[in-house]
Structure 1
């Protein structure tokens, strides 16, 4: 099943990675699980919620104008 609308986070590229461990509220974990399920339905590839986190953070920082301005100084 695919949705008619695309998600903000598109298909995931293959990247070199390092491991980072963090704690999050149970409600955020539930949202990540739901997002991963929807992402899998949309793009036809099952993805673990932990795999989404770096891509979400990268998209968040890319859209943060204050972060971009601070990086230019």
Structure 2
């Protein structure tokens, strides 16, 4: 079985985001949600819930980003 980069989607307080996607990307997002639901046994109520984990995963595995980010000053809370 092929392993997906995403696992089950954690429940979190929803944040509204508005974004325009090309039609082909939206279709791929819907297909990914369907495959993920079958793979994890957890239904994905809305494919847009995949966007945040996908972006988090992308940034967490981008070595160039991590290297450059280490050079940035730490923001004060």
Relative to the length of structure 1, the TM-score reads: 0.85
Relative to the length of structure 2, the TM-score reads: 0.81
- Counterpart in the other structure of 2:38: 41
Unaligned runs of at least 5 residues, structure 1:
none
Q: CA RMSD in A?
A: 1.3
Matches of 1:55 and 1:13 in 2, distance apart?
Answer: 9
Number of corresponding residues: 70
- Counterpart in the other structure of 2:65: 67
- Counterpart in the other structure of 1:56: 54
Matches of 1:15 and 1:68 in 2, distance apart?
Answer: 25
